[in-house]
Amino acid sequence: MRYSRVGSSGLVVSRVGLGMMSYGDTSRRAWHLDADAALPLVRAAAEAGVTFFDTADMYDQGASEEVTGTLLREVFGSRDDYVLATKVYFPTGDAPTSRGLSRKHLHAAVDASLRRLGTDHIDLYQIHRWDDATPIEETMCTLDELVRAGKIRYPGASSMYAWQFAKAQYTARAHGWSGFVSMQNLYNLAYREEEREMIPLCRDLGVGVLPYSPLARGFLTGSRTRGGGRSTVRGRSDPLAEEHYTDDDFTVVDTVAEVARERGVPPAQVALAWLQGRPGVVSPIVGVTRPAHLDDAVAAVELELDDAEVRRLEAPYRPHPVLGHG
């Protein structure tokens, strides 16, 4: 395993981040794993050197945070041995105040996350989306309050427009508040719109990029066919995959498969290796429900593609509508 700083901050994470959304209540989603089923995978990840674990308060109605906290306490000897990330914004209840990025909700949400996670601090606390209803000054000031209170160590952000991210960072800097150290955005070989504005901005500001959905919800691994076939449980129950990726993107999938065959490795390793080599990328966040998923993610850290392979993989790309901000 390799390790990198998150942008220009002092936070160090493994070059593979384990997404914990797959772990929770199996009655709500067929592809979820409960704590007992997830434990061997999280233990194997730790043994492979993974130290970065990402969840959110709205994943599985809070069950993901509960399972995450339980698993990490079981696997790691010390709280200082891993980096714990979670997110806030989406509704966690029926009340109008149980959502968004207001001072009221941020304070209530972080305390609820800390209880579910069973810890006294969150290493990376990320706003899950932009909140049009709350002044950005209120949000950034509150995040700084949480840093000063010791409840969070670093603020981070997830999908939004580059102008919004620039506004947030400028607001924090102008007031001497803690700014975002990371951007968790949708980025993979089949969706590269973030290269136009967001990633250059992050590199300029010293912000680390933590891509989610690095395998395009399994699309880049060959889990879908042009005829509409689905080879995985999640693929058969994931409507967003149909919305995000269309028949126009299968040329990218075909090229990934070709390079993988030539290399003698699974397509997932090629797609992840490409992402590992992109400027600004610190740690792709991968979902793992089988040992092979983890093996591919770890192997991709050491798989170096040559310039010709990179050009082949990038050539078939076609622009997409902007995704992931809603």
For the chain, how many residues are written?
326
Measure the CA–CA gap between 256 and 216, rounded to whole angstroms. 12
CB 227 within 8 Å of CB 250: no
Task: Establish whether 59 is a catalytic residue.
Answer: yes
Q: Which residues contact 28 (CB under 8 A, 6 or more apart)?
A: 60, 61, 63
Read off the pTM. 0.94
Q: Domain locations in the chain?
A: 3-214+278-304
- One-letter-per-residue 3-state SS of 170-191: HHHHHHCCCCCCEEECECECCE
Q: Which residues contact 186 (CB under 8 A, 6 or more apart)?
A: 159, 194, 211, 212, 213, 323, 324
Provide mean pLDDT across the span 54-64: 95
Topology of the domain covering 3-214+278-304: TIM Barrel (3.20.20)
Measure the CA–CA gap between 59 and 46, rounded to whole angstroms. 22
Provide mean pLDDT across the span 264-283: 98
CB 323 within 8 Å of CB 196: no
Rounded to 10 deg, the angle between the 291-302 and 35-47 helix axes is 20
Residue pLDDT, tens place only, 172-188: 999 999 999 999 999 99
Provide mean pLDDT across the span 200-222: 97
Residue pLDDT, tens place only, 74-96: 999 999 999 999 999 999 999 99
Q: Which of 3, 23, 59, 161 is catalytic?
A: 59
Quick one: pLDDT at residue 236?
46
